[in-house]
Amino acid sequence: MSGGLTCLSPRTAALARRLADGRFHSGTELARELGVSRAAVWKHVGRLAALGLDVHAVRGKGYRLAQPLELLREADVRAALAPAAASRLARITVLDVVDSTSLWLARRPGTAPEACLAECQTAGRGRRGRRWISPYGAGLCLSLRWRFEAGPAALSGLSVAVGVAVAEALADGGAEGVGLKWPNDLVHGGAKLGGILVDLAGEGTGPTTVVVGVGINVRMPPDRALPVETPWTELAALPGPPDCSRNRLAGRLLGRLVAALERFAAAGLDPFLPGWRSRDVVAGRTVEIVGAGWRERGTAQGIDGSGALLLRTEAGLRRLATGEVSVRGWR
């Protein structure tokens, strides 16, 4: 297994489920239910706090979470999943804590379509090796494995198609105004709402196994500033408000992703280009593109038919297939 804790102890996981209702539970009651001493209950509470849960302890009342917590359940995810998509997924696995849902799927034998969700990731990945911060139960960490008969070269622009599918799934739940920042960020009001990472593994002529990873900030702990440089936001802070049920969101996301991957296999990137262009928050802005050992400045001109960024520079129009965008005057 790659680094990080891959599961909670059964008792710690049971404690999280017991406290999920947001009500007080006495130490004596919890000790009896878990089959441990009251001192051991305190240790399990500490483990939950280390994962980002805000656990209140009050003498004479016991323990409770600062806010009720909707835990992920396979049955609830499937209930929110369109039947056509559900029939395509061989398995949906829900974990307490994992290093990375994408790495977990990559280690799984076989190539059948399946999904993995986790309450918390200890080594979630963003672009360029950055960590994706995910306190326990506060966001949605989801990955989907899929098989394409084509080789990796034929899958250019897949992350664009995935971005459109995720934005549509968020809109299905009432999250309007979510934009797409090339190549794979979900943003709202200049702040990052989520991210996408697409991993490909296959021979030049195919087939290719793809693992699509999606991370969404749903309802982050209010008293914990995330240790990231990029301004961020959460689904619960968006106007509306949108549906913040993580189980229903997971079902909508998987449904949209399955449909998008099937459509991409049949028709390529073209059907997704209008959806991207209507949500593109970079087009027309002065940007700096940062790659491995290089930087380019210019005005973003949208994307081409392969999903590459078009950048107008002093030297002319450039086509960039990789890089990270920094936007000037974002707000």
What is the three-class DSSP state of 172? Answer: helix
Alpha carbon distance 104, 142 (integer Å): 11
* C-beta of residue 211 within 8 angstroms of C-beta of residue 147: no
46 phi, psi to nearest 5 deg: -60, -35
Alpha carbon distance 281, 37 (integer Å): 54
CA 170 distance to own-chain centroid: 12
30 phi, psi to nearest 5 deg: -65, -40
Alpha carbon distance 47, 43 (integer Å): 6
**Using alpha carbons only, what angle is made at residue 173 by residues 167 and 175, rounded to the nearest 5 degrees?**
55
Q: Which residues are catalytic?
A: 127, 192, 328
CA distances from 83 to 78, 252, 254, 257, 262 (A): 9, 11, 11, 14, 15
| Nearest CA-CA partner of 163 in 311, 315, 17, 278 | 278
Alpha carbon distance 136, 263 (integer Å): 33
